Amino acid sequence: MAGRGHVDVSERRLRPIYDALDASNNKKAIQEADKVLRKQKDLICAKALKAIALLRSSRRQEALLLAAEVASQEPIEEATLQALTICYREMERGDLVARIYENAVKKVPQSEEFLSHLFMAYVRLGEYKKQQQTGMALYKVVPKNPYYFWSVMSIVMQALTTEDEKLSQKMFLPLAERMVEKMAKDMKIEAEAEVRLYLMILEKQKKYEEALEVVVGPLGSKLISEIELQSLKQAELYVQLEDWPKANAKYRKLLLTNPDNWLWYIHYFNSLFHLVNSGWTPSEADEGSSTDVITGTVDMAIAFVEERVEDELKNGKRLQRGPFLARMELLKRLTERGNQEAADKIGSPSDLLKEYFGKFGDKPSCFMDMRPYLTMMKLDDHAKFVEELQTYLEIPKKGGELSLPSDVKSMQRHICCVGLARSLGLQEHLTERDELIQDLMRRHQHGLQFGKDLLPTDVQPSDSYLLMTVHIKYAVYLKTQERSLLFEMIVMLEKGVACSPSNAQYKLILIKLYILLGAFQPCKKLYDNMEIKHIQQDTLGHFYSCYAVALGHLTSACSILSAMLKFFSANHKDTTEYIIAAYKYGSFHKIPEIISFRERLNLSHNYSALAVERMLLDFIMETTNPEQMRELLDFMEISPEKDEIKWDLLKDNRDMTVLSSWEPKERELTDQQIEQSFCQDKQWLRLRSLILRSLAAVILMSQPAPLDGEHSLDKQDASKNGESQVGDGNTLLSLILEINAHVQDVECQPSSGNMYLLCGPVPTRMKVYLDGQHHILLTSIFQVAVDVHSLETSDLNQSQELQEQISRNFDCILKTLEYVLDSMDTPIATPGSPPQVYPQVLQGLVLLVETLCLMALVTSQCQVMLKPLKATLTKKKKKKKNPTTIVPQVFNDYKMFVDSLVQFGEKLHKCLMEVNTVITGVDVSTLEIGPVLEHAEKDAISVETVWKKVKDSYQISVGEMSEVLKQKLQFLRTIRL
Amino acid sequence: MTTLRPFTCDDLFRFNRVNLDPLTETYGLPFYMQYLARWPEYFQVAESPSGEIMGYIMGKAEGRVAQEEWHGHVTALTVAPEYRRLGLAAQMMSSLEQISENKNCYFVDLFVRVSNMVAVDMYKKLGYSIYRTVLEYYSGDPDEDAYDMRKALSADVKKKSIIPLPHPVRPEDIE
């Protein structure tokens, strides 16, 4: 009883600390902890809690030491262990959590609680071997099935993660199998999860026969959580075993239960054609049996599918698309196999398509359903086909022209028709394109009445007309590059949004078009309005995120980039919790899935790209002197000597399927184009990351002494591990070579001729960058830094060659700068009538400002290296009292360079200011844009209002650019040797 | 034409067409992960022949068996605008009901905005009835009430679970 009383006293004493921590009053928590410790020195829980409070007051180092002190006493009280766990987890030191429970388990080996904590600590770390042992230890202490299977799953994870396939197949999986087998023999398998794990183990070893035995045996009856799971597993295994007769019969049977399941049709057809290829013929025995019928000939399959169609027509409920699409799929496959005779038995492609249209033409999905089967028709038949579809429209004709539909279903059919015509290429050489556009616009306007009772959260059914119009216009823009078309499309879509505020297609295309005009500001509202968040930032961010930087909206860029990075950095913690949950709830099959999902996010190209851009941006915006740069660098984790990006593993997580498209084949986005664009994205990221690492190398070269803090301690450790010293300039030298080689690689590649498709990816800034000679400017200034650093170790009077090289690089930079600025003499807009806009000018200016800022930063680091040299020289001079010592050329050259850089910056600043003047003078009312149908109440939207948005956005770009430029110039002016 | 299959983590990369709908909330990863880890069979996705995601349903089983409160719950049900009016929602609901039947649940329940008449009517057609109103369940400007709708399953022989409550309840009063 005395012990119990002791606990109560401690608990009462600790309470105020807990309360303070809960209230986020860390200062008070520390005071309370100190108070308790004065009374009761040995109450280590108070120390652990104090460590948490210290950590949360940004006193990480102290917290670490205090926690280590507590941990060294190998506590076993629950409260202390819990507090330490929290502390270490917040420090992201999961390894230390495992250590404290290892110690606790050593002291109390029979504790189920400690062991399960230890197991979960290992799950967090992904230490599968230790998981396996701990799971077994748990099972020995408390023989519960889940513990046993935790251990089995941990073995499977070792099999899945080892790079040694042999080890996986010969050791881990057989071991896991034996363990489950033993339980099965002893009739100890209880849960469905255990059976599924068993199947997973067998399937990973390709032991499909054995797996099948499990599925059809007594254990198979446990597979009930998903519908038809037992049958489905069976069917899947027949496919794996290439037992086509059985697979065929099984999928046929499944289709009888649900004739709308596409995947089952696909498997059914695959099995069918395997049987056909092998010359299967029905035997007498097959014909007799009732349910497990094999339909292994083309005729039997046609009959089966026709039956599904008949049944569907008979059952009187809402028609399901399955049987009708399956019939077209079968026809397509037969045609592709050249079996025309059989194909003819089903019917002609255009008849089937027309029938489908007749039944489902009023559904918005009809176009997408039909599209894959359009290729079955001959080119000559296309026009006739579309013509014939018109007979299904139920829209009266007036004077040969279709008049307007009377209800939403007729309209939907018409929309499908227009889409099909476009997709078949019938609109490509249209002479009456303008009439078509007018007609579609009129129909869009007219169709709005069918949606007037809809909620504002619904999409208007006639929106597709407007979208198709935009697609048509965009195709013209692709050919002509006429910017007035951009304005026209934007006006149309802005009006569209006013009528249908929930249409995300409108907004995404608007973002694309505004970006084409170089205007970032309007995109912000559009993007925020769609509430794109969390994982969508990875999949849809490509529409938007990188342009804040590219178009000079730096303040926005900072907040956008940090919000997105927050998502990625939380990913690891977020997902790991649920790996633990999956063990707890026995969802073993989800564990590898969640782990690879975590990897896919972690390896997202976006993640790396955002991080690199964010760091470059921080240097440009946040630093105005060498010390700040060094501080910032310590805070970031950049290692110049080591490329942290796993290039070969990077994932393209962009969603390129989100925009609807009715485009004909030649303008359909292909996988190859996506791959190509991903390649270019990676090339761009490589260049940016090389520049960032070079900048880091410059800083470390001029200020090698690390600042205090845990991070710099880690760094020292790293350099002890035999890595090359950054301080010696070789790292930077090799980075310069890498940049040059990389640029050469990129330039050697043939330009991709990638069309800038409306639904497709957007090219990187690489071309603008290389055309603007930014790589030359930066590598030259980096070279200067290397050479200045070399001066430190050589006799100033003997280093003539080095000094001349520096001087040459200064020259090169200044000449390049002049050249670049001269070549950018096009103004952003010309105010004539009609006015012209050249948005690419903005991108060029933004890059130039960025490069100038980076050069200013490097230049300031050169000053840090030159200054001591000058000081030594002055001292020597004074000592020797020798007035004849020549002042080395480099000091003078440096001073001249800084002055010229400032002058150039002033010129650039003037250019930025001119943008402002030019755009104010533009009058867009003379811009020739096609007539946009009037929406009486939406008249407020016009080309003038759109131009105002664009202009305001330019002004923000220019304002922010000039701000950051001024700041850097100010700083350059203060540089003295 | 649908392939109804369990939702996988990778589907999160491709569900944009569905989730850009303003009434379909995109949650943080923990929310989806929790369902995937704990009730994987209750998270189903409907895929089109071309592999596009047409819609999905998220659900769970919860409640005490002893009190006959063990039930299936529909957490989210959504279909992309271009795949509406095909009966997808009904298919997904029926699948969730079947799974709940297999677990011997007494009933299935769901919450729906009182303003969402299309959805309320659809659930009624599927056999659901309003069990109670939950006041200000949806936060927003202004907050909106929810109907708690229920459908009895075969375990609830006497259909006790769906007898409507006479008075509305507050969100904090529901379990």
Predicted local confidence at residue A724, as pLDDT: 44
Q: Is the pLDDT of residue A710 over 50?
A: no
pLDDT class of A744 with cuts at 50, 70, 90: very high
Average pLDDT over residues A936-949: 79
> Can you give the length of chain B in residues?
175
| Rounded Cα–Cα distance for residues A806 and A780 (Å) | 9
pLDDT at A961: 96
Instruction: Give the SS3 label for residue A509.
Output: helix
Region A226-232 average pLDDT: 91
More confident residue, A525 or A667: A525
Residue whose pair of structure tokens reads 């569907």 in the numeric block: A312
For position B1, what pLDDT does the model report?
A: 65
Q: What is the pLDDT of residues A649-660, one digit of tens each?
A: 999 999 999 999
Lowest mean pLDDT among A600-604, A839-843, A954-958, B41-45: A839-843
**DSSP letters spanning A47-66:** HHHHHHHHHHTT-HHHHHHH
The tokens describing A524, both together, are: 């912000």
Q: How far is residue A123 from each of residues A57, A194, A555, A697, measured CA to CA in Å?
A: 29, 19, 40, 37
The mean pLDDT value for A573-601 works out to 94
Sign of CA dihedral B79, B83, B86, B92: negative
d(CA A49, CA A184): 47
Q: What is the mean pLDDT of residues A517-527?
A: 95
Per-residue pLDDT for A195 more than 60?
yes
- Reported ipTM: the value is 0.95
- Contact between A29 and A17 under an 8 Å Cβ cutoff? The reply is yes
State the pLDDT at residue A3: 45
Confidence at residue B122, expressed as pLDDT on a 0 to 100 scale: 94
Q: What is the pLDDT of residue A755?
A: 64
Report pLDDT digits (tens) over B15-27: 999 999 998 999 9
Beta bridge pairs of residue A604: A651
3-state secondary structure of B33: helix
- Contact between A263 and B38 using a beta-carbon 8 Å cutoff: no
Helices A2-22 and A44-56, packing angle to 10 deg: 10
Whether the ω angle into residue A522 lies within 30 degrees of 0, i.e. cis, is no
Q: Inter-chain contact A321–B86, Cβ cutoff 8 Å?
A: yes
Residue A428: the pLDDT is 83
Query: Cα(A706)–Cα(A567) distance, rounded to whole angstroms?
Result: 30
Query: Residues with Cβ < 8 Å from B65, sequence gap 6 or more?
Result: none
Average pLDDT across chain A, whole number: 90
CA distance A951 to A924: 11
Q: What is the structure's pLDDT at A942?
A: 85
Q: Write down the pLDDT at residue A634.
A: 87
For residue B13, list chain A residues with Cβ-Cβ distance below 8 A: 535, 538-539, 600, 653, 655
- How large is the average pLDDT for residues B5-9? 96
For residue A102, give the amino acid letter: E
Task: Name the burial class of residue A41, with classes exposed (0-12), middle (13-18) and buried (19+) by CB atoms within 10 angstroms of its CB.
Answer: exposed
Cα distance between residue A798 and residue A173, in whole Å: 69
Confidence band, pLDDT 50/70/90 cuts, at residue A717: very low
Q: B136, B139, B141: which is closest to B173 by C-alpha?
A: B136
Q: Tell which wins on pLDDT, A887 or A968.
A: A968
pLDDT digits (tens, 9 = 90+) for B113-146: 999 888 999 999 999 999 999 999 998 888 999 9
Nearest residue to A124 via CA among A585, A644, A581: A581
| pLDDT for residue A393 is more than 90 | no
Give A435-474 pLDDT, tens digit per residue.
899 999 999 999 999 998 888 889 999 999 999 999 999 9
Q: How confident is the model at residue A718 (pLDDT cuts 50, 70, 90)?
A: very low
Which B residues 69-108 touch A at CB under 8 Å? 81-87, 91, 95, 98-99, 102-103
Beginning with the edge strand found earlier in the chain, give each strand of the sheet holding B44-47 in spatial order: B3-6, B44-47, B53-62, B71-79, B107-113, B144-152, B129-138
- The candidate with the shortest Cα–Cα distance to A105, out of A96, A94, A120, A116, is A116
The two structure tokens encoding residue A395: 């829209």
At residue A838, does pLDDT exceed 90?
A: no
Residue A2 pLDDT: 41
Cis peptide before A706 (omega within 30 of 0): no
CA triple A799-A801-A802, angle to 5 deg: 65
Burial B126-146 (b: 16+ CB within 10 A, else e): eebebbbbbeebbeeeeeebb
Whether residue A365 and residue B115 make contact (CB cut-off 8 A), yes or no, is no
pLDDT per residue as tens digits for the range A307-321: 999 999 998 888 999
Does the pLDDT value for residue A226 go beyond 50? yes
Burial A444-460 (b: 16+ CB within 10 A, else e): bbebbebbeeeeeebbb
Nearest by CB to A535, which of B3, B29, B102? B29
Task: State the Cα torsion A763-A765-A766-A770 to the nearest 10°.
Answer: 140
Q: Which pLDDT score, from 0 to 100, does residue A720 have?
A: 42
Sort out which chain B residues have CB atoms less than 8 A from A582's CB and list them.
36-38
Q: How many CB atoms lie within 10 A of CB B10?
A: 12
Query: Which chain A residues are within 8 Å of B102, Cβ to Cβ?
Result: 224-225, 227
Question: Which residues are CB-neighbours of A936 under 8 A, at least 6 positions away?
Answer: none
**Measured between alpha carbons, how far is residue A325 from residues A296, A754, A775, B48, B90 in Å?**
20, 34, 55, 11, 20
Nearest CA in chain B to A260: B1
- Compute the distance between CA of residue A411 and CA of residue A444 in angstroms, rounded to an integer: 10
Assign A715 a pLDDT band (cuts: 50, 70, 90). very low
- Token match 């026009």: residue? A383
- Interval A256-303: pLDDT, tens: 999 999 999 999 999 999 999 999 888 755 555 566 889 989 999 999
Mean pLDDT (whole number) for A936-963: 87
Name the closest residue on chain B to residue A593, using Cα atoms.
Answer: B9
Taking an 8 Å cut-off on Cβ atoms, the answer to whether B1 and A372 are in contact is: no
pTM for the structure as a whole: 0.92
Name which of B142, B138, B134, B132 is nearest B165 in CA terms: B132
Of A364, A570, A581, the CB nearest to B34: A581
What does the pLDDT read at residue A822?
86
Residue A51 pLDDT level (bands cut at 50, 70, 90): very high
